[in-house]
Structure 1
Amino acid sequence: MTYLLWISYKGTNYAGFQVQPNAPTVCAVLQDAMQAVLGQRPDVKGCSRTDAGVHARRFALSFCYTTGRVPMQKLVPALNAHLPPDIRAVDIQPVPDSFHARYAAHAKTYHYYLLNARVDDPFLFDTCHRIWPALDLAAMQAAAAKFVGTHDFSALCASGSSAAAHGDTVRTITDCTVVQSGDLFTISVTADGYLYNMVRILAGTLVQAGLHKRTPDSIPPLLESRDRKQAGPTLPAKGLFLERVDYPGLDAIS
């Protein structure tokens, strides 16, 4: 049987999701738990390769389970008994054997969290990025709207991207918004795919708009330039969350 497992994790202590030599990763810790529970170490297909320090509220992965040692309805609590508290199994569902968590994804939504304050909040320090002086919410919202659509996002791509090396830099952003709640700003981006560090660079560009260092009307020429140097800084990984993954035909996991 092939299953789609949904997990949530705080990425502070990990070098991303994907297994890496000589570095703790979410996938390696999860596979350790799977081996303890299932009696096998499944080959895991993750929906994304999140970077070091990035978090996920809902991360999806698919795997094939052959031993039948534990019934599906007991897998989530059994895995959580073997996982550290910063990684949690959330839900599980059967999927067709041909299902692949990455390639079947229709869209992914990321949130970037900004604390707009003079000093850090000790309770939010490792899950958002602090910015000061005060941000102009309306300017950020106007700039965010300019990213929506199908564009070549080379200007929002860090060097070293394999997709950029192959000229595969066109993506479609279906939603890009900024909301404020007190001192907390949330940048939300939904797209059919992402380039390396795309959301963190987009967030850095929106911060420039919020600080009046660029205008919303500068965004279309920026995208047309395909020049990374014309975009904003790459904001730290700690403010980035994979919020949601959408699969056509599958029931959403709340």
Structure 2
Amino acid sequence: MRNLRFIVTYDGTKYSGFQTQPEGNTIQDKIEEAIAKLTGEQVKIAGSGRTDAGVHARGQVINFITESRIPLNRWCVALNSWLPKDIATLSVEEVPLEFQSWKWAKRKTYCYTIRTGRLQDVFHYRYQMHHPTRLDVEAMKTALAHFIGEHDFTSFCSVRSTKPSHVRTLYEAWIEVDGILADSSQVSYNVMNEQDYTGQVIRIYVTANGFLYNMVRIIAGTLIRVGEDKFSSHDIPVILAAKDREMAGPTAEPHGLMLWRVEY
């Protein structure tokens, strides 16, 4: 009997999220079906966290117990041959039998991607929220810094959250623009004609000890309001202190969100 831990990547576009749902068609369902075809075992996998419908993962972590004797160096190729093309395992290792991917996780990083500009990128539209006009990234960066630290994130989670505590610690948070760290020396907002504005790809990264339901998407939606000059960066501490979901910005669209990595 072995406990195997995998890093899994997937495009969540056509799935109802990671965790098994009554109506089926989830990432968990597809992986468990693939394991059954490969080994004949009916296993229940555990994920490091749940991603919602339409949300993607670059570094989801799963584990499960197996009696199979397939060598470790053959597991990924063998399992991928049974998985849909939009789900793949990237690596595997054997871990202690008591290991649980969700319980042992120490830090998780999510990335939310926004594409600004009049025209949508048809090759990346599944992974980028399209915003047709420019955003003030410097103001967004200043606002994002207010989230770092331990806070009650009631204002930044769904009212449907069932967690007993909404206190979480954000260890790091930063913004990149077209792969370059955004600062005033690298990014210009002095566009004379908005119709000539070709746009930018803005990536918002947040690392925390855990996340609440819709937390990253609400943070992203609020930062977009800051970038639009509808909120001030100084509003963030006030919104956090209010512990009122109605005070924060909208929940950003799911397809811009990606589970980036999980650390143990």
Aligned-partner residue type, residue 102 of structure 2:
R
Match of 1:242?
259
SS at match of 1:201: helix
Match of 2:187?
none
The Cα of 1:151 is off from its aligned counterpart by 0.3
CA distance in 1, matches of 2:176, 2:124: 17
Q: Per-residue CA shift, 1:135-163, capped at 9, x if unaligned? A: 01110100000100000000001111111
| Contact persistence 1:208–1:232 (CA under 8 A) | yes
Query: 1:169 aligned to 2:166?
Result: yes
What TM-score do you get using the length of structure 2 for normalisation?
Answer: 0.90
Q: Per-residue CA shift, 1:206-229, capped at 9, x if unaligned? A: 111111111111111110000111
SS at match of 1:100: coil
Aligned residues: 243
Match of 1:251?
none
Match of 1:97?
97
Aligned-partner residue type, residue 82 of structure 1:
W
Give unpaired runs (5+ residues) of structure 1.
248-254
SS at match of 1:78: helix
CA distance in 1, matches of 2:176, 2:204: 7
Q: Per-residue CA shift, 1:13-48, capped at 9, x if unaligned? A: 100111112231111111111011122022211111
Give unpaired runs (5+ residues) of structure 2.
179-198
CA distance in 1, matches of 2:157, 2:30: 29
| Contact persistence 1:34–1:42 (CA under 8 A) | yes
SS at match of 1:229: helix
Aligned-partner residue type, residue 124 of structure 1:
H
Q: Per-residue CA shift, 1:38-76, capped at 9, x if unaligned? A: 2202221111111000000011011001132x2222110
The residue correspondences of 1:78-227 to structure 2 (distance < 5 A) are 78-163=78-163, 166=164, 168-181=165-178, 183-227=200-244
SS at match of 2:138: helix
SS at match of 1:121: coil
CA distance in 2, matches of 1:90, 1:8: 7
Match of 1:230?
247
CA distance in 2, matches of 1:83, 1:44: 15
Most deviating of 37-46 and 138-147: 37-46
CA distance in 1, matches of 2:53, 2:42: 23
CA distance in 2, matches of 1:67, 1:80: 16
CA distance in 2, matches of 1:22, 1:148: 37
Q: Per-residue CA shift, 1:167-215, capped at 9, x if unaligned? A: x100000111111116100000000001110000000011111111111
CA distance in 2, matches of 1:121, 1:130: 8
The Cα of 1:119 is off from its aligned counterpart by 2.1
Provide the aligned C-alpha RMSD in A.
Answer: 0.9
| Contact persistence 1:16–1:51 (CA under 8 A) | yes
SS at match of 2:173: strand
CA distance in 1, matches of 2:31, 2:6: 11
| Contact persistence 1:42–1:64 (CA under 8 A) | yes
CA distance in 2, matches of 1:126, 1:159: 27
Large movers: runs of 4+ above 3 Å = none
Query: 1:11 aligned to 2:28?
Result: no
Q: Percent identity?
A: 38
SS at match of 2:234: helix
Q: Per-residue CA shift, 1:95-149, capped at 9, x if unaligned? A: 1111000010001000000001112111111111011321011101000001000
CA distance in 2, matches of 1:176, 1:223: 16
SS at match of 2:262: strand
SS at match of 1:160: coil
What TM-score do you get using the length of structure 1 for normalisation?
Answer: 0.94
